[in-house]
Amino acid sequence: MTNNKQQTGVEWYSRRLFEIEIAHNQGVIDTLIYLKSKREALDQAKEMEKERIETAYNKGTVHGIDYPESTLPITGEQYYNETYGGGAK
């Protein structure tokens, strides 16, 4: 049986952080690369969650009313920016 479940950004980040920690603890990567890798993983996880929220908005409902995506009052990106403050990282 194949598992087609997608990972959330949090699940992906947790796994990636574990891999980075192991590599650093085993001396495979130095501290500078370790810190840079952690920052990049965090940024990637945030972007994944942003995309999931935008997609859910675009495919979901607004105030309990089903809208075809082309007639939504705002885009998923606008919803994300208004709800979560946009590009602030």
- Cα 82 to the center of its chain, rounded Å: 17
- Beta-carbon contacts of 67 under 8 Å, excluding residues fewer than 6 positions away, are 61, 73
**pLDDT of the residue at 75:** 83
pLDDT in tens, 1-20: 456 678 899 999 999 999 99
For tokens 């840079």, name the residue.
Answer: 36
**pLDDT of the residue at 58:** 80
**pLDDT of the residue at 32:** 97
What CA–CA distances, in Å, run from 39 to 42, 54, 57, 67? 5, 23, 27, 37
Record the pTM.
Answer: 0.74
- Mean pLDDT of the chain, nearest integer: 85
Whether the CB-CB separation of 41 and 16 falls below 8 Å is answered with: yes
